[in-house]
Structure 1
Amino acid sequence: MTDNQEPTYEGNMTRRRVVVAGGMAVAAVGAGGAAAANAFAGTRDEATAAPGAETCYPLTSEAVEGPYYIDADKIRRNITEDQAGIPLSLGLRVIDAETCEPVRNAAVDIWHCSALGVYSGYEAMGSGGGGGGGPSGGPTDVPTGTPTGTPTGTPTGTPTGEPPSGPPPGGGGGHAEPTDDKRYLRGTWRTDRHGRVTFRTVFPGWYQGRCVHIHVKVHVDGTWTEAGYEGGHTCHTGQLFFSEKAVLASAEVAPYSTSTVTRTTLDEDTIYPGNGHEGGLLYLAYDKRHIARGVHARLTLGVVPDETDGSASAGPSPSATSF
């Protein structure tokens, strides 16, 4: 499937369609927003509807939570901390797939690995289980014989789901207890009256057995307090994916270019459902000659607020740190 093709619909998934007028502008968040906006002048959007056309969003595919979820630990929009990588502005809009109305005041969680494939809270598991990780977020033990250099578009690794070593086993079918107190590249924020939320982070890297992705959860019917978000239930658990063109471009930029982990492509990944934006494939905008300047990513998530997803998580816990 090319970047500009309409998404295809496969399997028995309900095809509720959500109609939203126009496109969604993604604004830069936090300090340096103006500079970031200027950096995107002349960028290209890899998959954009025709100007002025109605954009229809089906019910977004669910995906496994994976073993590395830590609920509502940081109530914040800027989740970068001190992590190196290509600046990424991620704009999401949450829509009720039954009524086509925006879902207001929902708590949206995102979490993803560092540029070198390490999850905060699980540095001891390294990059996809490849040894321990240091404070910088990079792996410190790479198996002998691992290919080196910039990944190509035809990786030879066999997809295995979530990282294959360390508890739980590969496939993302359980939750691993955190091994440290780091929480970079994780955050929760509140949707506005239009159902929108924007996060500031870095372009994720990759680890053994998985393509480049971001995890996402949507919680509803809870209460926002000074401590954070309490109660409610999780109505959506999914994953967000990046085009091969963008990933290959990122792989030429440090620190991504220093990775020695065999990369799994989008088509090889066992979690990506292969159904385009319905399955979590992000719309991306960036300068194809200078991706290091930053990437804008956006997607509308069609959810059913009254339903509870199949993950074990009922909803985020109150946060002791809110910023």
Structure 2
Amino acid sequence: MHRHHGDEDHEHDRGLSYDLPVLARRRMIRLMAGASLVPLVGCTSEDGTSPGASSKGSGTSASPSSSAECATIPDETAGPFPGDGSNGVNVLKESGVVRSDITASFGDSAGGTAEGVPLTLTLTVVDAASGCGTPKKGAAVYLWHCDRDGNYSLYSEGVTEENYLRGVQETDDEGRVTFRTVFPGCYAGRWPHIHFEVYGSLADATAATSLTNTSQLAFPKDVCDTVYASDGYDASVRNLSGLSLESDGIFSDGYDQQLATMTGGVAEGYTATLTVPV
């Protein structure tokens, strides 16, 4: 289910105030599933575990377990700043949005470039119904996130004329899309994350129709700590200090399937990967 929230005040993606309805819905789904006494072989809940089982992640950058790999990626809120036409502006229909490097704005925007530690992100979209062994060739992923200061282009004060850190890619024969971007900042109330939507095809994505999945990617704490110790992320250090994956309004009910695997460093940049079963 694709959910968006209002943005009347043009504030940041305000953690629990926006995401709690989705969190409550997902918990209700697990409670309903746990009430059933009939086991379903091979079935899992939205958080990738059998009904009633704990879905807490380890907090490391390890790959998902085999049980989670064949469950559909958890459905999450797109937040108040999707830019997909569901909450005001629609960047998906603009020429130039299909691109791999999303660090700079494109088209008739102000033309700014987002600063920060380089990040190369690869998502591999696979078919959950086939046991996650079949790549989803020809699907499309729309990806967006905040900048180093915690601001979202098109919405946040000071960057409403920018459209950086947003882009669409079509999956290749292996189901992969790769984006070159910067490591996002941490703003108050939310664990560092990246939003993404999966569409059945590139044509669907650029028409903003036939959306199939909406989710979020989380970053391991050790990597966040290292990145935020570098220049330009001072506010992120303060904001992260009061947060954890276990207390985040989105990831607190399970993040194994959404925690990126990371390599690299601040000087050379990081590489992040995640398998996305749909």
| TM-score scaled by length of structure 1 | 0.57
Q: Give the aligned residue type for 1:119.
A: Y
Q: In percent, how many aligned pairs have the same letter?
A: 33
Query: 1:212: Cα distance to partner?
Result: 0.2
Query: 1:48: Cα distance to partner?
Result: 4.8
Query: 1:194: Cα distance to partner?
Result: 1.3
**Alpha-carbon distance between aligned partners in 2 of 1:94 and 1:68, rounded to the nearest angstrom:** 23
Structure 1 residues 242 and 231, CA gap change in structure 2 (3 angstroms): closer
Query: 1:199: Cα distance to partner?
Result: 0.4
Give 1:101-250 correspondences, 5 Å limit: 101-124=134-157, 134=158, 180-221=160-201, 223=203, 229-230=206-207, 232-250=209-227
Contact 1:277 1:299 in 2 (8 A): no
Q: Does residue 301 of the first structure (1) align with residue 268 of the second (2)?
A: no
Contact 2:121 2:272 in 1 (8 A): yes
Partner residue, 1:15 = 44
Instruction: Provide structure 2 residue ranges, at least 5 long, that are not aligned to the other structure.
Output: 1-28, 35-42, 46-59, 85-91, 105-112
Partner residue, 2:259 = 281
The structure with the largest helix share of the pair is 2
Query: 1:67: Cα distance to partner?
Result: 0.5
Structure ranking higher on relative contact order (CA contacts 8 Å, 6+ apart): 1
The one-character-per-residue Cα deviations of 1:55-113 (angstroms, maximum 9, x if unpaired) are 94422111111110112241111001121111101000111111242112112011000
Q: Give the aligned residue type for 2:126.
A: I
Contact 2:69 2:277 in 1 (8 A): no
Structure 1 residues 261 and 95, CA gap change in structure 2 (3 angstroms): same
Contact 1:253 1:292 in 2 (8 A): no
Secondary structure of 1:98's counterpart equals: helix
Give 1:25-174 correspondences, 5 Å limit: 46-48=61-63, 56-71=69-84, 72=92, 73=94, 74-81=97-104, 82-99=113-130, 100=132, 101-124=134-157, 134=158
Cα RMSD, aligned residues only: 2.9
Contact 2:187 2:236 in 1 (8 A): no
Q: Give the aligned residue type for 2:71.
A: P
**Alpha-carbon distance between aligned partners in 1 of 2:165 and 2:79, rounded to the nearest angstrom:** 15
Q: Give the aligned residue type for 2:140.
A: A
**Alpha-carbon distance between aligned partners in 1 of 2:44 and 2:67, rounded to the nearest angstrom:** 17
The one-character-per-residue Cα deviations of 1:133-176 (angstroms, maximum 9, x if unpaired) are x45xxxxxxxxxxxxxxxxxxxxxxxxxxxxxxxxxxxxxxxxx
Partner residue, 1:271 = 250
**Alpha-carbon distance between aligned partners in 2 of 1:189 and 1:222, rounded to the nearest angstrom:** 7
Aligned residues: 205
